[in-house]
Amino acid sequence: MINVCVFGAGAIGGYIGCSLSKAGANVSLIARGPHKEAIEKNGLTLISEEKSISNEIKDWSNKFGPSLACGLEVLERDHDILTAPVKIAVSNHAFFIDGWIELSRSEEVQIALKDTCLYTEVNPFKVKAGGGGHGHSDEHHHHHQEMPPISYQDRKLSKPMELLTDAVGRPAYGRIDPTLFMFVTYPIFFGMMLGDMAYGLVTLALGAYVFSKANSNEMIELGGKFLIYIGLGTLIFGYIYAEFAGWEIFLYEKLTYADGSYMKDSSDHYMYSENLSPVAFLANLYPFDLDHGYGPAVELGYGINLSFPFHRVGTHLNDLIILTIYVGFFHIIIGKLIGFRDVLFYGTDHGHVGLVAAFFEHGVWILLLIGGFFFSYGYLGSSKYGLDVEHLMLPGAIVALSSVVMLIYTLYKYHGIPIAVSLILAPIEAMGMMPSVISYVRLFAVGIVGVKIAETGNKLWEPMMEAELYLIPVFFIGWLSVQMFAWALGIFSPNIHAARLHFVEWMRQYYDSSGEAFEPFGFRSNFVEVE
């Protein structure tokens, strides 16, 4: 280290001394008079120009920022007023305005214009079945009728899910808005994957923090609410799974052999040891005795025996795989039913509308799913699980094969595909529905990865309890790091897969994203109120 002595530590000398000190030198200062008194009292601080400018900007923003925002808003309003005539058909004696308004506000608009306009008329829009769209035509949409822009209904609770819908595109006019469905299913799917009470609480806390910092920023506010929703889903399924930071919340846990299989006594009953995890006390959260595992149980098809609460990695691994396929089956069925309704009332891009068109466009697929389900249920249930359901195979096969035949007709009649090609394409399309349903297994698989990561980190807990005092912080930081990694991965990965299941597997069954966002003409005040 270099030793430096600065004689005369005034303005310039003080600047040099501080700069040398920041560079690593050992600096001594010699000063006199007011400089000496100031240095002894307050020390010596180097204030850079950059920092000074930054502070000045911050001070100016705090003092004049609100006034500037209000002024810009007023200027924006005045600009809209002054440029309005170019959007209106005007003659020397009259003007004409033609546009879209929300039907719920039609009376409000007419009242506002009655003193200005001699005549106003509001005509409720009626969709021409099979002719939807927005005045454009492309290879996917052959529209013949200009459609109104789309404005979401004012639903405060489900509004964060509009971010997901807009990521795909606004629904076409008259079609069902998927936002309300995703308000229910998205947190459920996310919760099924992450499903840990500790991670749910952390996600809720993060969402609450983001929401509190939103101020008037709508996007940040919606993002905070979205985190709260998926955090609630995670917390609820964490309770169902009886998981907290990767630990099982049981007073007793099953003994296992070295290969991971469970130990049983001579009476074929599981053998238990005391649960030494730090979260065993949370068993008090459940309204029944968890001393030896589980509470109420329910039997489902394919030999599924679910007990509440149940741990994903323990005795219910196979059960959850089958359960996710159940979820996929019903989720896709819902999508097809929505598509059935849309064709029934509004038709297709090719102009087909009504009950017959709806049946061949979507009803055939619903029958295919039901037939395939009963065939699989009868085959696997009787062969693998010993259930008396073999009689379901034949009717299931008949319904499925009949659906394939009708699908051939659908491709030929409603999609204009030559019959020879339809004969080949229909079975391929039918088989393609199977991966869509099986894709929902990710609800199980993604969650298992997170559980195993958390369990790996929890293995540090036992040596931490037995370690020397100085090593305890090291083990704890290691454990906390693994848990934070598992949580961060749990926030990222389940969101991707939950979005994929909705956007790809579900929405493609029915969704028409040709809608255009409604952008009302006029000024909406955020900071000022102008009369």
pLDDT in tens, 237-248: 999 888 898 888
Q: What is the pLDDT of residue 132?
A: 46
Contact yes or no for 301/377 (Cβ under 8 A): yes
How far is residue 70 from each of residues 43, 74, 473, 526, measured CA to CA in Å?
Answer: 43, 6, 52, 8
Region label for 256, one of left (φ > 0), alpha (ψ between -120 and 50) or beta (otherwise): beta
Which backbone phi and psi does 475 adopt, to 5 degrees?
-60, -40
Q: In the prediction, which pLDDT does 292 show?
A: 54
Q: What is the pLDDT of residues 396-452, one digit of tens each?
A: 999 999 999 999 999 998 888 999 999 999 999 999 888 899 999 998 888 888 888
Orientation angle between helical segments 317-346 and 364-383, nearest 10 degrees: 160
Give mean pLDDT, residues 135-144: 46
**pLDDT number for residue 142:** 47
Report the distance separating Cα 40 and Cα 44, nearest Å: 9
Q: Which two tokens stand for residue 327?
A: 């979820």
Max CA-CA distance within the chain?
106
Using 50, 70 and 90 to split pLDDT, how confident is the model at 253?
low
Alpha-carbon gap, residue 517 to 360, rounded angstroms? 31
Asked whether 22 and 37 are in contact (CB, 8 A), the reply is: no
- Alpha-carbon distance of 505 to 518, in angstroms, equals 28
Buried b (16+ CB within 10 A) or exposed e, 87-115: eeeeeeeeeeeeeebeeeeeeeeeeeeee
pLDDT digits (tens, 9 = 90+) for 451-472: 888 888 888 877 777 777 778 7
Nearest of 356, 412, 341, 383 to residue 178 by alpha carbon: 341
Residues in the chain: 531
Query: Whole-angstrom Cα distance, residue 164 to residue 47?
Result: 47
Provide the residue type at 169 as one letter.
G
Are 362 and 372 spatial neighbours (Cβ–Cβ below 8 Å)? no
Return the bridge partners of 4, or none. Answer: 27
| Closest by CA position to 424, among listed 439, 433, 412 | 412
Does the bond joining 309 to the residue before it have cis omega, within 30 degrees of 0?
Answer: yes
How far is the C-alpha of 414 from the C-alpha of 12, rounded, in Å?
Answer: 86
- As a whole number of angstroms, the distance between CA 361 and CA 357 comes to 6
pLDDT value of residue 185: 95
Q: Which residue has the tokens 């990695």?
A: 313
How many other β-carbons are positioned within 10 Å of the β-carbon of residue 283?
Answer: 19
Residue % of the chain over a pLDDT of 90: 26
pLDDT number for residue 405: 94
| 509 to 24, 134, 218, 306, 447: CA distances (angstroms) | 67, 21, 31, 31, 26
pLDDT score at 303: 66
Check if the beta carbon of residue 367 is closer than 8 Å to that of residue 342: no
Cβ–Cβ under 8 Å, residues 272 and 253: yes
- The pLDDT score that the predictor gives to residue 15 is 75
Rounded to an integer, the average pLDDT of 495-517 is 90
Q: Is the pLDDT of residue 181 over 90?
A: yes
Going by the DSSP 8-state scheme, the letter that residue 291 receives in this structure is T
**Amino acid at position 40, single letter:** E
Tens digits of residue pLDDT in 12-68: 777 777 777 777 778 777 777 777 777 777 777 766 655 566 677 777 777 777 788
* Residue appearing with tokens 């789309």: 150
The DSSP string of 80-136 is HHHHGGGGSEE-SS-EE------GGGHHHHHHHHTTT-S----------TT--SBS-
Report whether 156 contacts 476 (CB < 8 A): no
Distance CA 249, CA 268 (A): 24
Mean pLDDT along residues 370-389: 81
pLDDT of residue 378: 85
Burial class (CB in 10 A: 0-12, 13-18, 19+), 493: middle
Mean pLDDT (the chain, rounded):
82
Which helix (H) or strand (E) segment holds residue 244: the answer is strand 243-244
CA-derived radius of gyration, the chain = 33
Angle at 188 between CA 184 and CA 189, to 5 degrees: 120
* 291-329 pLDDT, tens digit each: 555 667 777 766 677 777 877 766 667 778 888 888 999
Which residues on neighbouring strands pair with residue 248, listed in sequence order? Answer: 243
- Give the pLDDT of residue 291: 55
Measuring CA to CA, how many Å separate 453 from each of 116, 266, 422, 450, 488? Answer: 68, 34, 48, 5, 12
CB 229 within 8 A of CB 200: no
**pLDDT at residue 50 in the model:** 55
Query: Which ranges of 195-217 does DSSP label H, i.e. alpha helix?
Result: 197-212
Q: Can you point out the beta strands (E) in 133-227?
A: none
Judged by DSSP in three states, 231 sits in helix
Judged against a pLDDT cut of 70, whether residue 258 lies above it is answered with: yes
Higher pLDDT, residue 26 or 331: 331
Rounded to 5 degrees, φ, ψ at 314 are -85, -115
Give first-to-last CA distance, the chain, whole Å: 70
| Region for residue 215 given its phi and psi (left: phi exceeds 0; alpha: psi -120 to 50; beta: otherwise) | left
For residue 273, list its beta bridge partners: 253
